[in-house]
Amino acid sequence: MKKVKTRFPPSPTGTLHIGGARTALFNWLYARHMGGTFVFRLEDTDRVRSKEELVQSIVDALNWLGIDWDEGPFYQSQRLDVYAEYTQRLLDEGNAYYCTCSPEVLNEKREAARARGDNPLYDGTCREKDLGPSPGAVVRLRSPRTGATVFEDQVKGPIATPNSQLDDLVIARSDGSPTYHLAVVVDDITMGITHIIRGDDHVSNTPRQIILYRALGVEPPVFAHVPMVLGTDKKRLSKRHGATAVTDYQGLGILPEAMVNYLARLGWSHGDQEFFTLDDLVDKFSLENIGKSAGVFDPARLLDLNADHIRSTDTYRLANLVLPHLEKRGVVPGDNKRLIEAVETVQPRSKTLEEMAEGLLFYYKEFEGYEEKAAKKFLTPDGAKWMSLLARALEGVDVTDQYQVEAAFQKVMDETGQGFGKIAQPVRVALTGKSASPGMFELMRVLGNDLVRARLARAIAHIGD
């Protein structure tokens, strides 16, 4: 049995989107699970739309996801001599021929076929003319006209296409450049690809490519066509569903391991398990567990999964990951230890790194005002009284020592007859500007003595005003 070899061949005419990232992931996971090889190549023969900066954006997205490659990147634009060699081989062996039918004539024939209710296929005008190369001539594959092309799809099962529905496709343009079908088949042959996992929008391409493999005397690889990704409205995923480029989600504060986990679950399953680490996925991934139904991309579910991964992530790593999100808000934490302590207080309630950065701001920046509803409810004369008593009780107390802070609160509770919650809520609003925050003792420890005292005094003055 051949060693498994998969590939991911994006076209650098756009950024890496969710569907493409899932295709890359499935190929990578299968190669890693089987102890095989993963190849990265770029289908960049569209010279007008292919751009180097888009190549870099795809590479950056794969690096962020943790998808590495064993071979490549290969560029189709650098392999034109290979495609020319294979085109000539097909011509020499009688499996391809030159065609001089002009685009205008071909269009007329297609329109006439449609008018008759026929399939608008090429009618084979030049098939038996034995033409040679000439200006404007293209090269067509001599496809079989009888029988059927059959293959066993690892997801969809057996698929058969009558050859009468497949015309003689163009494999080389008039300028000698290869068309998609020739380039991809030659690449897969010369790179030794054994398994092709791709979106089911390629199902109609597969019979044509199988005919090409056989014309070249090569056994086709194993095909697995994965159902497309839909939005929550069950329509094909597009920009109207929100961010679709992988790098957009990086900017929104999604962890790469959460995105990989979510992409893997878009059409693949392992029992009822939802949370997977990368090692879990490599260990458990199989083609047999790819579903036949389209995956639905639900941003809310991604956020929930991201929150799970944030909670399970080392706090030190989170502190490093959240730094860029803080910096774009004008915060450059100088004390890494304090940042780690601050992250620990918001980690359980953050769904994204962006949300985490917002939740950390009160530690580093003075807020302009208090949350209106919270101020109306808690910043009252009674609140001012209790905060004044607490400020007095905290004199000489180190607020980073929870036992000392607990004793100060207890003193106020004893003096006023109020419960902890009644006293803590005005204090919470005074310290953070909001009614919801990390635990009282944790946030006071991170704020430190000076900020706690200054913010209590500010809130008391605010109530007085």
CA nearest to 431, candidates 391, 464, 390, 459: 459
**341, 294: one domain:** no
Residues 6+ positions from 351 with CB-CB distance below 8 Å: 303, 304, 306, 307, 310
Q: CA-to-CA distance for 353 and 313, rounded, in angstroms?
A: 12
Q: Which residue has the tokens 């917002």?
A: 358
Whether the predicted pLDDT of 47 surpasses 80 = no
Contact present, 277 and 257 (Cβ < 8 Å): yes
The total domain count for the chain is 4
Q: What is the pLDDT of residue 345?
A: 97
Q: What is the pLDDT of residue 233?
A: 82
**318, 192: one domain:** no
Quote the tokens at residue 216: 């070249």
**96, 205: one domain:** yes
- Asked if the structure places residue 61 within a domain, the reply is no
- Asked if the structure places residue 259 within a domain, the reply is yes
Q: What is the pLDDT of residue 275?
A: 96
- Phi/psi of residue 196, each to 5°? -115, 110
Q: What is the pLDDT of residue 379?
A: 95
Average pLDDT over residues 25-29: 98
Instruction: Enter the DSSP assignment of 121.
Output: -
Q: Is 420 left (phi over 0), alpha (psi -120 to 50) or beta?
A: alpha
What percentage of the chain reaches a pLDDT higher than 90?
88
- Asked if the structure places residue 62 within a domain, the reply is no
CA nearest to 432, candidates 362, 359, 346, 329: 362
Residues 6+ positions from 399 with CB-CB distance below 8 Å: 405, 444, 445, 447, 448, 449, 452
- Asked if the structure places residue 2 within a domain, the reply is no
Quote the tokens at residue 422: 């009644």
- Asked if the structure places residue 26 within a domain, the reply is no
- What would the pLDDT profile of 374-412 be if each residue is shown by its tens digit? 999 999 999 999 999 999 999 999 999 999 999 999 999
The kind and range of the H/E element at 229 are: strand 229-230
- Among the candidates 194, 226, 258, a domain finishes at 226
Q: CA-to-CA distance for 64 and 311, rounded, in angstroms?
A: 20
Confidence class of residue 243 from pLDDT cuts 50, 70 and 90?
Answer: low
**Amino acid (1-letter code) at residue 128:** E
Angle at 355 between CA 352 and CA 356, to 5 degrees: 85
Q: What is the mean pLDDT of the chain?
A: 94
Whether the predicted pLDDT of 56 surpasses 90 = yes
Whether the predicted pLDDT of 50 surpasses 90 = no
The mean-pLDDT minimum among 61-65, 243-247, 345-349 falls in 243-247
Q: CA-to-CA distance for 108 and 81, rounded, in angstroms?
A: 34
Per-position DSSP letters for 245-269, written without gaps between them: BHHHHHHTT--HHHHHHHHHTSSB-
Q: CA-to-CA distance for 156 and 223, rounded, in angstroms?
A: 10
Average pLDDT over residues 358-368: 94
**220, 90: one domain:** yes
The mean-pLDDT minimum among 129-138, 175-184, 233-242, 426-435 falls in 233-242
> Which residue has better confidence, 337 or 233?
337
Quote the tokens at residue 205: 């391409």
Instruction: Enter the DSSP assignment of 17.
Output: B
Choosing from 2, 51, 235, 239, the catalytic residue is 239
CATH value at residue 193: 3.40.50.620
- Asked if the structure places residue 342 within a domain, the reply is yes
Average pLDDT over residues 295-305: 93
Contact present, 257 and 249 (Cβ < 8 Å): no
**279, 350: one domain:** no
Alpha helices by DSSP H, 329-434: 336-346, 353-364, 372-378, 381-393, 402-416, 420-432
Q: CA-to-CA distance for 101 and 133, rounded, in angstroms?
A: 13
Active site residue 239: yes
**256, 307: one domain:** yes
Sign of the alpha-carbon dihedral angle for 105, 111, 114, 116 = negative
Q: What is the pTM of this model?
A: 0.91
CATH value at residue 340: 1.10.8.70
**371, 361: one domain:** no
- Asked if the structure places residue 291 within a domain, the reply is yes
**109, 90: one domain:** yes
**169, 243: one domain:** no
Q: What is the pLDDT of residue 353?
A: 98
- Asked if the structure places residue 7 within a domain, the reply is no
CATH value at residue 287: 1.10.1160.10
Confidence class of residue 239 from pLDDT cuts 50, 70 and 90?
Answer: low
Q: What is the pLDDT of residue 1?
A: 67
What are the C-alpha distances in Å from 320 to residues 67, 146, 255, 313, 343? Answer: 21, 63, 12, 12, 10
Contact present, 161 and 148 (Cβ < 8 Å): yes
**199, 84: one domain:** yes
Q: CA-to-CA distance for 285 and 174, rounded, in angstroms?
A: 44
- Among the candidates 181, 203, 226, a domain finishes at 226
> Which residue has better confidence, 336 or 38?
38
**155, 250: one domain:** no
Domain holding 331, by residue range, is 314-365
Q: Tell how far CA 201 is from the center of its chain.
A: 19
**296, 222: one domain:** no
